[in-house]
């Protein structure tokens, strides 16, 4: 075991949705811990800017590729491209996701299919692609970014809550599959984190109400998810698997 159990030197990490928000915060912290990175996102410009900024700050290798995780062809290309450029993938962070707020009787088939493909199917497909290499090396870390919306919900969050809950089940099942090979699989369930997605969907009164539900009376930051991700990705978290780590500022602790 390394002297610093949080050291990721010599490790490589593939992070989806890595250009901003939670994905970027995780990428930045992993890079400071010494990991080389392969980032993907849909937007070419923010992805390139993030990759360059992390290279300049941390001095690690950062590769990047645009990909739409709702397209199975893109998911298939991503794993191969990451291994070709970095040689291996030790850590996978499935972070890409989206929410289309709709009441159950308002859901359009195309919207449901999109959310399920992006939030759930792509996670299965990408994990399935990178796991064989991890098994060969006898070491791996898989981290799914779920949500407290997978443990509870609010109105019009049907697709989002369903897929985020499914990620927790997928995590538990695959942790049992992969534990004998030295691979851990875990979820992080963020609470209200100030990123583009919730801020673009929620009104100011809704944002204030969510802040008031936390024990700390505020929204969290993406950096406050990156720390738990580093724990799960490192030797410090080597005996944590099949777990869903709730990072919500105490939101789920409140009954009324």
pLDDT of residue 2: 67
Residue 201: band (very low, low, confident or very high) from pLDDT cuts 50, 70, 90: confident
**Range of 74's domain?**
12-247
Q: What is the CATH number of the domain that holds 70?
A: 3.40.50.720
- What's the confidence (pLDDT) of residue 256? 83
- Does 2 reside within a domain? no
Of the two residues 235 and 203, the one the predictor is more confident about is 235
Confirm whether 3 is domain-assigned: no
Identify the active-site residue in 160, 175, 214, 225.
160
Q: Could you tell me if residue 255 is inside a domain?
A: no
Averaged pLDDT for residues 46-55: 98
Cα-based torsion angle of the residue sequence 111, 142, 134, 73 in order, rounded to the nearest 10 degrees: 10
Does residue 7 fall inside a structural domain? no
Structural domain includes residue 4:
no
Q: What angle (nearest 5°) sits at the alpha carbon of residue 153, between those of residues 149 and 155?
A: 130
The pLDDT of residue 20 is 96
DSSP-derived pairing of the beta strands 183-190 and 12-16 = unpaired
Q: Domain tally for the chain?
A: 1
Residue 159: inside a domain: yes
One DSSP character per residue, 13-82 reads: EEEETTTSHHHHHHHHHHHHTT-EEEEEES-HHHHHHHHHHHHHHH---EEEEE--TTSHHHHHHHHHHH
In a domain, 254, yes or no: no
Stretch 60-64: mean pLDDT: 98
Q: Tell me if residue 160 is catalytic.
A: yes
pLDDT in tens, 134-148: 999 999 999 999 999
Residue range 68-84, pLDDT digits in tens: 999 999 999 999 999 99
């Amino acid at each position: 075991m390394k002297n610093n159990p949080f050291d990721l030197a010599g490790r490589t990490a593939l992070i989806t949705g890595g250009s901003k928000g939670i994905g970027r915060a995780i990428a930045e912290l992993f890079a400071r811990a010494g990991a080389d990175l392969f980032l993907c996102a849909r937007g070419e410009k923010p992805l390139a800017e993030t990759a360059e900024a992390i290279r300049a700050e941390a001095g690690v290798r950062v590769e990047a590729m645009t990909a739409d995780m709702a397209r199975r062809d893109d998911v298939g290309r991503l794993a191969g491209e990451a291994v070709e450029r970095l040689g291996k993938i030790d850590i996978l962070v499935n972070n890409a996701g989206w929410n289309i707020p709709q009441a159950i009787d308002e859901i359009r088939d195309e919207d449901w299919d999109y959310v399920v493909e992006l939030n759930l199917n792509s996670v299965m497909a990408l994990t399935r692609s990178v796991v064989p290499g991890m098994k060969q090396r006898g070491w791996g870390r898989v981290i799914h970014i779920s949500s407290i919306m997978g443990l509870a919900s609010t109105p019009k969050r049907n697709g989002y809550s369903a897929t985020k809950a499914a990620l927790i089940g997928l995590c538990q099942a695959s942790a049992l599959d992969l534990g004998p090979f030295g691979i851990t699989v875990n979820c992080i369930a963020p609470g209200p984190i100030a990123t583009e997605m919730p801020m673009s969907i929620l009104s100011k009164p809704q944002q204030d109400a969510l802040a008031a539900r936390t024990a700390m009376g505020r929204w969290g930051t993406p950096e406050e998810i990156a720390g738990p991700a580093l724990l799960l990705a490192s030797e410090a978290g080597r005996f944590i698997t099949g777990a869903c780590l709730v990072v919500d500022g105490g939101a789920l602790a409140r009954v009324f």
